[in-house]
Amino acid sequence: MQAEGELPIDVAPPVAQGGTDLDRRLVAALERAGHVVRTLLWRQAYANGLSPIQTQLLLHLVGKAQPPRVSDLAAEFDVSLATMSDALAALRRKELVRRDRDPGDRRSHIFVLTDSGARLADELAHWSDPVTGWLGAGPEADKAATLRFLLDLIGRLHDAGVLAVARTCVTCQFFVRNAHDDPARPHHCRLLDTPFGDAALRVDCAEHQPREHEPSQP
């Protein structure tokens, strides 16, 4: 695994380095939005005596049908095994997370929320309310188009190796883009056998299965 914060060397953007002025302003806007989101999450974390990664871990473990191992979580959060092990150890000391034997491999362990961890995660889930409150006033069509654009960007960054894990529809082997003539529901999920539109694209799907070496389609 690459070191934290270090991009892999095989990243090859389709357009010359630097991009257009619009591209650069889009990146700046994403950075500003990311800063707001991070700040809200950090505030919530520190108010509860947690680090940001501990907070994200608690939120991530909510309702997981298949509790993850430390290696799954390190890949998910793009951090080293040592960093993830430290964060999990801190949560175990606070009795918010429990370590169990992996029923599928007795040599490994899985991590699940304790009852108090689940209660705290419920409270933490409101960290994004200031942002979702503003988004709620926006036009649905704009939000759906923005979601698709961002997921396509994430899909390309994933294909390029910048992002290790992306359980989104656009990186899923069951996703068929523009399979139907219905403009409201043009896409199809072959697993759920259902048509759906941009607004229903999933960002973190439990049923996701990665595609094999097939780049995201525009």
Q: Which of residues 158-197 bind ligand SF4 (CB under 6 A)?
A: 169, 172, 174-175, 189, 191-192
Q: In terms of residues, how long is the chain?
A: 218
Q: b/e for 115-146, b at 16 or more Cβ within 10 A?
A: eebeebbeebeebeeeeeeeeeeeeeeeebee
Quickly tell me which residue has 């097939």 as its tokens.
214
Contact 113, 96 (CB under 8 A): yes
Q: How far is the CB of 174 from ligand SF4 (least distance, A)?
A: 4
Q: Which of 142, 207, 214, 217 binds ligand SF4 (CB under 6 A)?
A: 207
Q: Which is nearer to ligand SF4, 96 or 189 (CB)?
A: 189
Query: Does position 127 bind ligand SF4 by CB under 6 A?
Result: no
Kind of pairing, strands 175-176 and 194-196?
Answer: unpaired
Cβ closest to ligand SF4, residue 20 vs residue 194: 194
CB-nearer residue toward ligand SF4: 59 or 176:
176
Q: Which residues bind ligand SF4 (CB under 6 A)?
A: 169, 172, 174-175, 189, 191-192, 202, 205, 207-208
